[in-house]
């Protein structure tokens, strides 16, 4: 396979290339554009014109520099061994193959896909999506030899993308519905994926029926099909081994897999916990589950489409930096949206707090993600989860939780957190000591004037990039 006829280089070495706003010629898809998608379909051989690239809408050279445009990428493939279950796995390779091109940055998947073409690539002559289509077709056939024929269609016209976009959404929904039809107990094999190791070298997804891949693109069915046709590929079998902790979802086979694939960096994983030995996160997660220490045991969920900040004052991008990179980060977990409605969702954390399940730890969700999962959430909790329309910051959250009688308020952790804050305030007034809590910044002051300082941390998990210790003048005692 050669790309000598292309004006830019193509190869895995370019994966991870970043194209900043001032370096980009145009942006395709992404948060500024309403409808965009990427989809792979398996077709009969007679329906494919091998090597053909269609473009419906303006080409790169017709676009205005610095602007954003819709992008739909439809890859149609055929081959005697292909089956529909492979579509999602092939679709995930769009991300990888686009990133092989020097001068293209591709992020996300499905209907959140987001690409940038660099000015440098455009100036070298990479000025047509015909070229990208040809590159994709060559890569698909070379890297996945079971694909015998391939054709690609790009949609950049804002009107003409509407119909294929709706079809794509319907297909994603059908895949997700099927993925929800089985549970971890029904299978004797899990699957792993290391496609994101070029960005996050210690990350490997463990894909189970109840825990879809973080990117939301690969279900257990999809992973099984991929591992069957290419057992030495990036998706592989993970024998479960012995179950060490049913509630946490700890399996010897999963621990062995993560230890090997993270090169010894990660020793074990609790599949159903966001707080203890959580699954690693790469950077492709659809949403983030984050701990809210001010609620003792409560969590929030924000997804990529959320505009503005979450309840803790942080935008998705800031929390994504904290979460991703292949780290095991208790309190910040990259998740798929499907996992939120799984019966195993952070079950270990919820049950350990005396709740009925992990979903009952959720006290806040961004509106966009809540709308996506609302119908699938348990009826007794869905209207008790606040959004940015119900509370604007953490100070308003306890009043909301108590008004709707969210089950979190019955947990010991909540009572200690909320009561603890009041107690600490009392203590401050009496003794001049305090331990404030927060997720954005945290100050641990000393006891003014008396020398030394006192810090009391109970059941505490702390994540901090920096800690500032300042001297604070003592307050006067209450009369
Ligand atoms: S997020 Fe996980 S499943 Fe998805 S491509 Fe990356 S490693 Fe594979």
The answer, yes or no, to whether any atom of ligand 1 lies below 6 A from the CB of 200, is: no
Share of the chain above pLDDT 90, in %: 77
Q: Look at ligand 1, atom 1, and give the residue with the nearest C-alpha.
A: 215
Please state which of the ranges 10-19, 42-51, 55-64, 204-213 shows the lowest mean pLDDT.
10-19
Segment 19-41, tens digit of pLDDT? 999 999 999 999 899 999 999 99
3-state secondary structure 420-478: HHHHHHHHHHHHCCCCCCCCCCCECCCCCCCCCCCCCCCCCCCCCCCCECCCCCCCCCC
147-159: average pLDDT: 97
Is it the case that residue 457 has pLDDT exceeding 80?
Answer: no
Segment 213-246, tens digit of pLDDT? 999 989 999 999 999 888 888 999 999 999 999 9
396-419: average pLDDT: 94
- Cα(195) to centroid of ligand 1, in Å? 6
In which band, very low, low, confident or very high, does the pLDDT at 460 lie, cut at 50, 70 and 90? low
- Which of 211, 215, 333 for a ligand 1 pocket mutation test, highest count of atoms within 8 Å of Cβ? 215
Q: Look at ligand 1, atom 6, and give the residue with the nearest C-alpha.
A: 196
Q: Which atom of ligand 1 is found nearest the CA of 235?
A: 8
Query: Whole-number mean pLDDT of the chain?
Result: 89
Query: 398 vs 446, which has greater pLDDT?
Result: 398
The answer, yes or no, to whether any atom of ligand 1 lies below 6 A from the CB of 193, is: yes
The answer, yes or no, to whether any atom of ligand 1 lies below 6 A from the CB of 215, is: yes
442-458: average pLDDT: 42
- Which of 110, 217, 219 for a ligand 1 pocket mutation test, highest count of atoms within 8 Å of Cβ? 217
Is it the case that residue 369 has pLDDT exceeding 50?
Answer: yes
Give me the domains of the chain, ranges plus CATH numbers: 12-161 (3.30.1650.10), 180-410 (3.40.970.20)
Query: 455 vs 81, which has greater pLDDT?
Result: 81
- Which of 112, 214, 336 for a ligand 1 pocket mutation test, highest count of atoms within 8 Å of Cβ? 214
402-431: average pLDDT: 76
Share of the chain above pLDDT 70, in %: 87
- Cα(415) to centroid of ligand 1, in Å? 38
Q: Which atom of ligand 1 is found nearest the CA of 204?
A: 7
Q: Which atom of ligand 1 is found nearest the CA of 234?
A: 8
Q: What integer pLDDT is reported at residue 305 of this predicted model?
A: 86
- Cα(333) to centroid of ligand 1, in Å? 14
Please state which of the ranges 157-161, 404-408, 440-444 shows the lowest mean pLDDT.
440-444
Q: Which atom of ligand 1 is found nearest the CA of 218?
A: 3
Q: Which atom of ligand 1 is found nearest the CA of 205?
A: 2
Is it the case that residue 327 has pLDDT exceeding 70?
Answer: yes
Is it the case that residue 424 has pLDDT exceeding 70?
Answer: no
The answer, yes or no, to whether any atom of ligand 1 lies below 6 A from the CB of 195, is: yes
Q: What integer pLDDT is reported at residue 464 of this predicted model?
A: 66
Q: What integer pLDDT is reported at residue 452 of this predicted model?
A: 45
72-78: average pLDDT: 98
The answer, yes or no, to whether any atom of ligand 1 lies below 6 A from the CB of 226, is: no
380-401: average pLDDT: 95
103-111: average pLDDT: 93
The answer, yes or no, to whether any atom of ligand 1 lies below 6 A from the CB of 218, is: yes
Q: What integer pLDDT is reported at residue 199 of this predicted model?
A: 79
The answer, yes or no, to whether any atom of ligand 1 lies below 6 A from the CB of 115, is: no
Please state which of the ranges 8-12, 402-406, 437-441, 471-475 shows the lowest mean pLDDT.
437-441
Q: What integer pLDDT is reported at residue 445 of this predicted model?
A: 37
- Cα(380) to centroid of ligand 1, in Å? 32
The answer, yes or no, to whether any atom of ligand 1 lies below 6 A from the CB of 384, is: no
Query: 179 vs 471, which has greater pLDDT?
Result: 179
In which band, very low, low, confident or very high, does the pLDDT at 303 lie, cut at 50, 70 and 90? very high
Segment 266-277, tens digit of pLDDT? 999 999 999 999
Q: Which atom of ligand 1 is found nearest the CA of 282?
A: 1
């Amino acid at each position: 396979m050669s790309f000598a006829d292309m004006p830019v280089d193509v190869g895995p070495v370019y994966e991870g290339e970043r194209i900043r706003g001032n370096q980009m010629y145009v942006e395709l898809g992404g948060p500024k554009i309403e409808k965009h998608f990427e989809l792979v379909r398996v077709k009969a051989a007679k329906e494919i014109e091998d090597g053909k690239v269609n473009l419906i809408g303006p080409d790169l050279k017709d676009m205005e520099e610095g602007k954003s445009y819709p992008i739909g990428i439809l890859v149609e493939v055929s081959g005697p061994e292909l089956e529909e279950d492979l579509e999602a796995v092939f679709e995930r390779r769009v991300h990888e193959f686009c990133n092989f091109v020097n001068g293209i940055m591709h992020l996300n998947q499905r209907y959140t896909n987001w690409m940038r073409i660099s000015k440098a690539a455009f100036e070298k002559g990479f000025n047509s999506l015909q070229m990208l289509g040809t590159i994709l077709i060559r890569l698909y056939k070379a890297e996945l030899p079971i694909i015998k024929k391939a054709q690609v269609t790009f949609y950049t016209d804002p009107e003409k993308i509407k119909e294929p976009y709706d079809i794509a959404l319907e297909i994603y929904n059908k895949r997700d519905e099927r993925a929800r039809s089985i549970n971890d107990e029904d299978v004797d094999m899990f699957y792993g994926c290391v496609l994101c190791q070029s960005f996050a070298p210690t990350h490997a997804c463990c894909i189970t029926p109840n825990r879809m891949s973080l990117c939301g693109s690969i279900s257990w069915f999809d992973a099984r099909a991929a591992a069957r046709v290419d057992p030495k590929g990036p998706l592989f079998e993970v024998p479960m081994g012995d179950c060490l902790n049913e509630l946490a979802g700890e399996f010897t086979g999963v621990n062995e897999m993560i230890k090997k694939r993270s090169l010894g960096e990660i020793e074990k994983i609790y599949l159903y916990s966001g707080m203890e030995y959580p699954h690693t996160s790469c950077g492709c997660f659809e949403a983030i589950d984050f701990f809210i220490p001010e609620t003792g045991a409560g969590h929030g969920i924000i997804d990529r489409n959320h505009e503005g900040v979450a309840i803790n004052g942080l935008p998705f991008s800031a929390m994504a930096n904290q979460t991703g990179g292949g780290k095991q980060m208790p309190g910040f977990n990259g998740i798929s949206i499907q996992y939120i409605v799984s019966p195993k969702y952070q079950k270990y954390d919820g049950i350990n707090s005396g709740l009925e399940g992990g979903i009952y730890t959720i006290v806040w969700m961004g509106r966009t993600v809540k709308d996506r999962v609302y119908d699938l959430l348990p009826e007794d909790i869905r209207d008790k989860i606040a959004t940015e329309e119900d509370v604007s910051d953490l100070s308003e959250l306890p009043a909301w939780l108590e008004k709707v009688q969210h089950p979190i308020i019955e947990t010991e952790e909540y009572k200690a957190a909320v009561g603890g804050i009041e107690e600490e305030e009392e203590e401050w007034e009496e003794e001049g000591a305090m331990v404030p809590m927060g997720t954005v910044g945290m100050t641990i002051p000393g006891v003014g004037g008396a020398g030394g300082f006192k810090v009391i941390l109970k059941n505490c998990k702390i994540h901090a990039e920096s800690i500032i210790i300042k001297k604070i003048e003592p307050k006067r005692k209450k009369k």
